[in-house]
Each structure stands twice: as C-alpha cells, then as structure tokens.
Structure 1
Amino acid sequence: MLGEMVAVVGMSLLVGTAAVAADAGTILQVTGRIAGETVALEHAELQELPQIELETSTVVTDGTHKFTGFLMRDLMENLRADGDRVTAVALNDYAVDIPMADFYDYDVIVAYSMDDIPLGRDDKGPLWIVYPRDDHQELQDIRYDYRWVWQLSRLEVQ
C-alpha cells in the first residue's frame, strides 16, 4: 500500500515552493524531512488516503461529535516522513510541536468533516487535527488540547 500511495502522491502532488504559492486548491502543505522538499495537497488528494471516522468530545464544542478524515500516521508514512516531531501550523499562524509518537500511540486524525458536515474556514476547517480523547484518559490533559490544531494549513516534519 505504501508504494501505491507514494506513486499516487508522487503523480498528483505539486512540489516546490513556487508551485505551492501558485496553487489555490492546496489545503495542506508539508515540508521538512519527507520524500520531496515541499508537498502541496489538495482536498481530493487527501481523500485518497484511507478514511476513518472517530467519535469523541472536544474542549471547544458541546457533546460528542463524529469526525471524518484520515490518520496522521498514514499521511506521514505515505510521505516517508523521517522525524521525531511535526510542527502543525494553522491559517492564523498558531503553531505547536507534536511528537511523531502521538500518531502511532493514538489514532490521531486530520478531520475534514464533523457530523457529516464539511469543516469550513469559518468553523475550524478546512482541516482539524483531532485526538481520540474519549478513548484514552491521558488525552484529557491540556498538553494534548494544545495539539488540536484547527484551520490546519502546514506541517513541518523535523
């Protein structure tokens, strides 16, 4: 599967900073220790990753919600990420370092919809890093809450 996704990603990705800036369809840019200097992903390309649904509560919404997206570890594996942390950056330049181990210890997803409604820029979208906080007591800690980056726009693998 990894080889297939790398081939798909390799054929469909824009590589290079100039290409990223010129592509209005890009919703996620990945840089750093990956296969390729800069990778620009559109929504359709991200949906080629295996999709997952996660039901959990958040500290910024009421009740439990169903999030749909892809596992962060799948993205990292498909881009051949080779680092021990990822800096996640939001559209408003909020940035936080996330240990790469989180993606393997927990089913951390990058969600593009909540309760079957696409996440818009006006409500935490188009992408939101979501942890399965209801499945693990240790995730109900403020240290993890800071890692829930909404309006995710960039990832830098370090």
Structure 2
Amino acid sequence: MLVQPKQEDLTLRLPVLLSAFLICVATLAASDPISAPEGKVVLTVTGNIERTNDGDALRFDYAMLKALDATIVETSTIWTDGVRKFQGVNLATLVDVVGAKSGAFLVTAINNYTVEIPLSDAVDDGPILAYAIDGKSISVRDKGPLWIIYPYDRDPEYRTEVIYSRSIWQLDRIEVVE
C-alpha cells in the first residue's frame, strides 16, 4: 500500500532538505580541483593548504585571480594620491579557496621582503589582494603585480604602522603557516 505524505509533512521537511542540498553543493565546490594556470604565474601559495594544482603549491595566473569574486576597496593610502579604487580578491575569499584553516599568511614580495598577516585579518570587509587600481592592472613599477590593500579610510585601526607593514606590494608568494 502506497501512502502519500501529507502536505504539512513536506512543508516541514523542505527547509531541512534544501539546507542539506546546499551543504552538499558547497562541500563539492570547495573540494573541486583548481586547474593549473595557463598564463604567467603571478601568485604561488604553499604551506598548510588543502587545495593545490602543482605538487604542494597552488599557483594562480591573472585570469584565475580575476575569476574569483572581485572586491573593490575605495580608499586613500600613504603611498598614493587621493582616493583610489583598488580591485582584487578579498583575503577571506583566498583563505576559503586555498583551504587554510588557521595560522597566518607569510607574504613575500619579489624583492624577498616578507611579512606575516594573521588569518584573523581575513574578514569579509577587510583587506584585499589587489590586482588593479582604477580598473588597470598594477605594473611592477607601480607596486604590482599584487598589493595587499586594507580599507584604510574606513577605520583608524587600519592606519597603524602594523597595518602599513602588512600592506606589502609586489607580492608574488604566500605561505600559510601555523
């Protein structure tokens, strides 16, 4: 004998089923492999990460970074004139993409300058890994190809020597450490 569920049973179960489905989709998306870069590598992430595309590293070209959710931060800096529009990847997004769980980013520039950025700085409305200023890619001459930009104008807490030291430019490597 086939018993038909009551409408109220379905109504009560639908939110639970929908939540379970969304969790499954999110889990699959987070574990999807990331393709190897096709263009010039501009960022290499190593260390305590869950996702890689080249041995123990996760390498990105510009197209791969630009394919991630873009964030725009409009702010002045102590290194530029006036308010500028910086576009890039929010550090919170980068943490999710690489699969970092805790610790810190050791970020290194082309000239081997290295600074530590705690993963606790990686919040939704926090710093970004900028790849463009005012809609144009950042050249090495202008502090590119990548530059950590905090929303300096939003909060006096972002205008400190500690935060300025974390605002590394000509960034090309990140190691996630405990």
Question: Which band: TM-score by shorter chain?
Answer: 0.7 to 0.9
Give 1:110's aligned amino acid: L
Residues 132 and 138, structure 2, Cα contact 8 Å, conserved in 1: yes
Residues 52 and 70, structure 1, Cα contact 8 Å, conserved in 2: yes
Indicate the residue corresponding to 2:43 in structure 1: 28
Deviations 1:31-65 (A, max 9, x none): 00001421111111111110111101111111110
Q: How many residues align?
A: 148
Report the Cα distance in structure 1 between the residues aligned to 2:35 and 2:122, rounded to whole angstroms.
Answer: 24
Report the Cα distance in structure 2 between the residues aligned to 1:128 and 1:105, rounded to whole angstroms.
Answer: 17
Indicate the residue corresponding to 2:114 in structure 1: 95
Indicate the residue corresponding to 1:57 in structure 2: 76
Query: Are residues 53 and 62 of structure 1, via their aligned partners in 2, closer, same or farther at CA, if it must alter by over 3 Å?
Result: same
Residues 28 and 40, structure 1, Cα contact 8 Å, conserved in 2: yes
Residues 82 and 157, structure 1, Cα contact 8 Å, conserved in 2: no
Residues 109 and 129, structure 1, Cα contact 8 Å, conserved in 2: yes
| Alpha-carbon RMSD | 1.8
Report the Cα distance in structure 1 between the residues aligned to 2:68 and 2:130, rounded to whole angstroms.
Answer: 12
1:40 counterpart = 2:63: no
Query: Are residues 67 and 3 of structure 1, via their aligned partners in 2, closer, same or farther at CA, if it must alter by over 3 Å?
Result: farther
Report the Cα distance in structure 2 between the residues aligned to 1:2 and 1:31, rounded to whole angstroms.
Answer: 22
Report the Cα distance in structure 1 between the residues aligned to 2:34 and 2:73, rounded to whole angstroms.
Answer: 29
Percent identity between the aligned chains? 34
Indicate the residue corresponding to 2:10 in structure 1: none
SS of alignment partner, residue 45 of structure 1: helix
User: Deviating runs (4+, > 3 A) in structure 1?
Assistant: none
Residues 34 and 157, structure 1, Cα contact 8 Å, conserved in 2: yes
Alpha-carbon offset, residue 141 of structure 1: 0.6
Residues 57 and 65, structure 1, Cα contact 8 Å, conserved in 2: yes
Greater length-normalized contact order (CA 8 Å, ≥ 6 residues apart): 1
- Structure 1: gaps spanning 5 or more residues: 15-22
TM-score by length of 1: 0.86
1:112 counterpart = 2:128: no
